[in-house]
Structure 1
Amino acid sequence: MTLTTGAILRRITEADLSAASHKLATIILDGIAWKNGYNGLERGTAAFTLAHLADKMGMSRQHLTELLAQLAKSTLELVRWKPNGKFAPWLFRFGGAEDDAVLPDVVSATGDTSLSRDCKNKTIFSGRIEIDATTNVYRTPWAELIRAAKSSLACWNVDTQAIWDRFLAFNKARGNAAVPAGFLLGFMRKWRARTTSDHIFQSEPIRTTPMPKQNSDLAELIRAAPTANRHFHELDLRSKIGNPAYDLRVQHMKARFACLRFSAVLAVHGEAVRAFEIAK
């Protein structure tokens, strides 16, 4: 079908669906980008998290999933995919829109070509970024572009200032004084890999403090406890020493280490293992 709002809306109204499915399809239609590259999305594509859709629909995630399955099997042929990691938004497209449609890729080339040269109402990263110019992203022209582009990327739920801070740190560590603006979009596109593998995002080294001896003793007892079948070993120990004696041990352990009952129970089990009262 022709990729227009009216064409898809007519397909929605003609489809044999429930009222809830019609509403969901209309919400997705409302979020479709009609200019290629707008907000980092390909033309004809919408980006939503399931939590956001469920909130807009006023229903549970389970019910929402059932409605999405209905739309996928209907004449609307709704398809969805998640190319940017587990916690990124889903991308949606109504089937039959364009046969030559491809998955969106919003990474600018190193030559800093914009996502599109034909329309000004798009997320366009052009020019150069001075790395040492300012640390406050909201005093730069990049804040709004970051906010718009991240909606379909793995960093969709990351604060704009945090993205900017990490981008500056990334380039400072490599001695870059200025970079093409397209580097910022590419940096956001590869967010998931960078946040898990690049150590430069740690603002300061992690400092550890020695564990107090009392806590260390508790940890040793817990490590000795058989955690896999905790309830089975509790019953075993209760049968050997009796319920009153078991409860008294737990109370003494809570008082000894000033810990929660769960930790006290594991410590009691660990002590029982050391005393060969129960097996690990």
Structure 2
Amino acid sequence: MEPTTGLILRRITQTELSVSAHKLATVILDAIAWKDGFNGLPRGTAAFTLTDLAAKMGISRQYLTELLSELAASGLKLRREKPNGKFAPWLFRFAAFESEAASRDVESATGDRSLSIEKNNKTIFFGQITIGADSNVFQTVWADAINSAKGALPCWNVDTQLIWDRFIAFNRARGNDKVPAGFLLGFMRRWRTSLGPAPLPEAQSQPPRVLEPKEQELLDRIKAAPTSNREFHASDLCRLIGEAAYEARILEVIRDFGCPRFSASLAVHGQAVLTGEIER
């Protein structure tokens, strides 16, 4: 059963929390993406900086931290992570709704999907992008989409025009004349996870770089764990081996391969899939 706004809201009201923690939970719920790709977020997550969240609540950062801890320890199991760098927004989700068993006691009626079907909860990347038609992104319809989405993605601090230029160059190098708009979102999501820079047109005639054994090993692990399922892989592994052991695996990959945390988490998930600990 898919979680809905009403389902989560009922669980919030049924959970024993302080008044402020209840309010914080509803603020986070209000910003949750109900469709994968809304504002660049995975389905079921919301993005805030702690400064913005404290401002919305009208409280101090210190008190906000206490409320977040309260929600994390509650039946809602609020989880947060910052996969895109020190200054990027935090991603929040209610982990209690990631398994069917956790939400069985608060099933929603079929009509309880009002916020899920509103236009502003749909993906903003739809249609086709013609490659090479415009060199200035601000003369296209895609500038606003990039600006809206990048705040929660690895390219959060990259100039919008640069993102567009790299995307156009990436597709020209592959001979693409027109691509689905979703390709742009996927390109932005993988901004830092690529082991090398996006290929430029003039590099077409150059032979591909041969990967070092360690690079190839890391890439093979990452390929085994699709990024769209990484939240579920993390939850499955944490339930299986514990959060401490899960964190230790990520740190070990970072130390051994010198890669960013996001790539390390995918490698850990991929290795677990390859060894049969979790399913793909």
**TM-score normalised per structure 2:** 0.53
Displacement of 1:170: 4.7
For 2:198 and 2:43, locate their aligned partners in 1 and report how far apart those are by CA, in whole Å.
36
Displacement of 1:23: 1.8
Aligned to 1:80: 80
- CA distance 1:47–1:135, change in 2 (3 Å): same
Aligned to 2:190: 190
For 1:27 and 1:61, locate their aligned partners in 2 and report how far apart those are by CA, in whole Å.
16
For 2:2 and 2:198, locate their aligned partners in 1 and report how far apart those are by CA, in whole Å.
47
Displacement of 1:119: 9.6
For 1:83 and 1:198, locate their aligned partners in 2 and report how far apart those are by CA, in whole Å.
19
Aligned to 2:39: 39
Displacement of 1:153: 0.9
SS class of match (1:80): strand
Aligned to 1:178: 177
Segments of structure 1 that go 5 or more residues without pairing to the other structure are: 102-117, 202-280
Displacement of 1:175: 7.1
Question: Given that residues 85 and 192 in structure 1 are in contact (C-alpha distance below 8 angstroms), is that contact kept between their aligned partners in structure 2?
Answer: no
Question: Given that residues 137 and 164 in structure 2 are in contact (C-alpha distance below 8 angstroms), is that contact kept between their aligned partners in structure 1?
Answer: yes
- CA distance 1:75–1:138, change in 2 (3 Å): same
SS class of match (2:12): helix
For 2:146 and 2:160, locate their aligned partners in 1 and report how far apart those are by CA, in whole Å.
6
Count of residues in correspondence between the two structures: 183
Aligned to 1:5: 5
Aligned to 2:99: 99
SS class of match (1:152): coil
Question: Given that residues 146 and 160 in structure 2 are in contact (C-alpha distance below 8 angstroms), is that contact kept between their aligned partners in structure 1?
Answer: yes
Rg comparison, structure with higher value: 1
For 1:88 and 1:28, locate their aligned partners in 2 and report how far apart those are by CA, in whole Å.
17
Aligned to 1:122: 122
1:18-57 alignment runs, 5 A limit: 18-57=18-57
- CA distance 1:132–1:36, change in 2 (3 Å): closer
Displacement of 1:69: 0.9
For 1:59 and 1:178, locate their aligned partners in 2 and report how far apart those are by CA, in whole Å.
51
For 1:157 and 1:59, locate their aligned partners in 2 and report how far apart those are by CA, in whole Å.
27
Question: Given that residues 131 and 176 in structure 1 are in contact (C-alpha distance below 8 angstroms), is that contact kept between their aligned partners in structure 2?
Answer: no
Calculate the aligned-residue CA RMSD, in Å. 3.4
Question: Given that residues 29 and 46 in structure 2 are in contact (C-alpha distance below 8 angstroms), is that contact kept between their aligned partners in structure 1?
Answer: yes
Displacement of 1:11: 2.2
